């Protein structure tokens, strides 16, 4: 069975705020972070809503305590700000005094920097220092820079499984703790807005020109977001040794791959159903012990139909209150699993259910509707879903400690 995996620290930065407290205040005041981009040079700048962190790269470097931005991409800087808060939240432990790993998630790494010199890079007649920007496409670049800045070297790796990346990072960290390979794992993800992702999702006709409407009959796609979030996972033995404060427990997790289609889930939600079922079984909790589900809820036509059917298959007529928080943060892609895991921790600690914004009309494919109001309720166990391209399905069960 291995060690229990306890959550002792959280750190986050998105369009909603620069730290956990600012996010909590925005959630409780039901204030979305959606707007338009100031920093991405795109023809869609005033057309497609996004959730952008309203700090320049230089400002992010200052927040991270760096003298400048040299060598640090926006992706790295976002991650470093969130990492530093997560460590402070965990009581600023000495990461060299226990076997500490860093498992980071990102989908496009430092592509935002490479795009700025794209035409120079593709012109064989040109030379210059900008050539080094090509290396920033390596997703491991931001991971290594963040790890080095906080002096983690026991185990450092990068996961890139599309929108399930950060949830899979948390699973790997938990598994390594349970197997006795690590005492502590800092897990999550970081993602910066890029023209590549904006154009890519737009070409798939998956971008809404209005604020997204998860689980609504009139849903028309997602809004992208950027940000970073990390959770500090520690073994129960390490927590007891250093008398650490525990925020919540990661009691269950599971991932599946249905391999139905490159960019679409199985229509009946086969993978989502199996991921939730297996995660709940691992947690030792029964269906009626789940009080809230933070759904993946992208507001795309196929995801919400498949995820909703999976919820109905698993819970029958007793589907717990559920909501998508992506209308608050946008879809932060690789970071989303960690962002929403932190929201799940907040739901337990504050005993609240967060609302699914912009909902007005029940989906004709489903018998269920999301929770649309901020309300207080007993919350002991939360399922947090993250489903990605390629059939990646990941579910976490986060429980009150």
CATH number of the domain where residue 314 is located: 3.40.47.10
261/207 Cα distance (integer angstroms): 19
Q: Which two tokens stand for residue 192?
A: 């910066």
Q: For residues 225 and 278, state if they share a domain.
A: no
Q: For residues 71 and 134, state if they share a domain.
A: yes
Q: Max Cα separation, the chain?
A: 65
Q: In what order do the strands lie in the sheet with 322-323?
A: 155-159, 100-105, 184-191, 227-235, 5-14, 248-257, 392-399, 381-388, 292-294, 322-323
Q: For residues 14 and 143, state if they share a domain.
A: yes
- For the chain (401 residues), the mean pLDDT of every run of 10, in chain order, is 91 98 98 98 96 98 94 96 98 96 95 86 79 82 96 97 96 98 98 96 94 98 98 98 98 93 89 97 98 97 96 98 98 98 98 98 98 98 94 96 97
Q: Which two tokens stand for residue 345?
A: 């921790």
User: Catalytic residue among 23, 55, 145, 296, which?
Assistant: 296
Reduced to 3 states, what is the DSSP secondary structure of residue 10? strand
Examine the fold and report which residue of 224, 242, 260 is the final residue of a domain before the chain moves on.
Answer: 242
pLDDT at position 13, please? 98
Count of the separate structural domains present in the chain: 2
* Distant-in-sequence, close-in-space partners of 325: CB < 8 Å, separation ≥ 6: 27, 294, 297, 339, 340, 343, 354
- Give one DSSP letter per residue of 204-223, joined into a string: TT-B-SSS--TT-TT---B-
Q: For residues 235 and 264, state if they share a domain.
A: no
Examine the fold and report which residue of 176, 208, 242 is the final residue of a domain before the chain moves on.
Answer: 242
pLDDT at position 183, please? 98
User: Catalytic residue among 139, 142, 163, 187, which?
Assistant: 163
Q: For residues 234 and 260, state if they share a domain.
A: no
Is 296 known to be catalytic?
yes
Examine the fold and report which residue of 242, 261, 287 is the final residue of a domain before the chain moves on.
Answer: 242
**Which pTM value belongs to this model?**
0.96
Give me the domain span that covers residue 320: 251-399
Is 331 known to be catalytic?
yes
Q: For residues 155 and 77, state if they share a domain.
A: yes
Q: For residues 116 and 206, state if they share a domain.
A: yes
Q: For residues 288 and 224, state if they share a domain.
A: no
**CA neighbor of 187 nearest in space, from 143, 137, 225:** 143
Angstrom distances, CA of residue 216 to CA of 77, 331, 357, 366, 372: 35, 17, 10, 10, 11
Q: For residues 221 and 284, state if they share a domain.
A: no
């Amino acid at each position: 069975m291995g060690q229990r995996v306890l959550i002792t620290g959280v750190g986050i930065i998105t369009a909603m705020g620069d730290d956990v407290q600012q996010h909590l205040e925005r959630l409780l005041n039901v204030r979305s972070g959606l707007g338009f981009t100031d920093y991405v040079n795109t023809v869609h700048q005033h057309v497609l809503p996004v959730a952008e962190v309203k700090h320049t790269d230089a400002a992010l470097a200052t927040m991270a305590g760096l003298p400048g931005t040299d060598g640090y991409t926006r992706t790295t800087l976002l991650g470093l700000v969130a990492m530093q808060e997560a460590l402070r939240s965990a009581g600023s432990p000495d990461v060299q005094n226990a076997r500490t790993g860093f498992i980071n998630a990102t989908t496009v790494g430092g592509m935002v920097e490479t795009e700025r010199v794209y035409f120079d890079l593709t012109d064989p007649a040109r030379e210059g220092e900008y050539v080094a920007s090509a290396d920033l496409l390596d997703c491991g670049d931001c991971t290594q820079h963040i790890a080095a800045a906080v002096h983690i070297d026991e185990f450092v790796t990068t996961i890139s499984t599309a929108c399930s990346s950060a949830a899979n990072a948390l699973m790997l960290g938990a598994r390594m703790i349970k197997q006795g390979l690590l005492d502590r794992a800092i897990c999550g993800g970081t993602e910066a807005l890029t023209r590549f992702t904006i154009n890519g999702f737009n070409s798939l006709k998956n971008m809404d020109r209005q604020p997204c409407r998860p689980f609504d009959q009139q849903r028309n796609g997602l809004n992208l977001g950027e940000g970073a979030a990390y959770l500090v996972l520690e073994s129960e033995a390490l927590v007891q040794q250093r008398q650490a404060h525990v925020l919540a427990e990661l009691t269950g997790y599971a991932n599946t791959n249905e391999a139905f289609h490159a960019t679409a889930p199985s229509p009946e939600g086969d993978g989502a159903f199996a991921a939730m079922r297996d995660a709940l079984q691992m947690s030792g909790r029964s269906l009626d012990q789940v009080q809230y589900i933070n759904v993946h809820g992208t507001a795309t036509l196929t995801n919400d139909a498949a995820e909703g059917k999976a919820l109905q298959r698993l819970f029958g007529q007793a589907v717990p209150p559920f909501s998508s928080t992506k209308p608050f943060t946008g879809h932060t892609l690789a970071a989303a699993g960690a962002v929403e895991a932190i929201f799940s921790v907040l739901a337990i600690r504050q005993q609240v259910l967060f609302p699914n914004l912009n909902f007005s009309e029940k989906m004709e494919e489903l018998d269920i509707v999301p929770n649309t109001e901020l309300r207080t309720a007993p919350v002991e166990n939360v399922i947090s879903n993250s489903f990605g391209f390629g059939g990646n399905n990941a579910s976490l069960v986060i429980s009150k400690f």
